[in-house]
């Protein structure tokens, strides 16, 4: 089971200035991450998602996260 606060902090450390919300979608290991970050401005969507996934890779590796749905936007855009 993942600690949502820890997951949010991991993403925030990897993407300083990001606004992050992590939601448990079932069982504690199926999560949704909603991330708005200034770093996404010049990245393709797939690279934005990779950045988020890489930030929490350690929790995939130890089995705390089984599935992660990722929604990304550029911070400050509509």
- pTM > 0.95: yes or no: no
Structure-block tokens of residue 5: 């606060």
Per-residue pLDDT at 2 = 85
H or E element in which residue 45 lies? helix 45-55
How confident is residue 78, by pLDDT bands cut at 50, 70 and 90? low
What would be the CATH architecture of the domain defined by 4-74? Answer: 2-Layer Sandwich (3.30)
Q: Are 15 and 22 in contact (CB under 8 A)?
A: no
- Sorting pLDDT into bands at 50, 70 and 90, what band is 22? very high
CB atoms within 10 A of CB 48: 21
């Amino acid at each position: 089971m993942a600690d949502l606060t820890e997951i949010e902090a991991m993403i925030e450390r990897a993407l300083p200035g990001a606004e992050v919300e992590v939601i448990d979608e079932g069982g504690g290991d199926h999560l949704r991450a909603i991330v708005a970050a200034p770093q996404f401005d010049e990245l393709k969507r797939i690279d934005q998602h990779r950045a988020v996934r890489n930030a929490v890779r350690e929790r995939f590796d130890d089995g705390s996260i089984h599935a992660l749905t990722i929604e990304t936007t550029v911070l400050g855009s509509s």
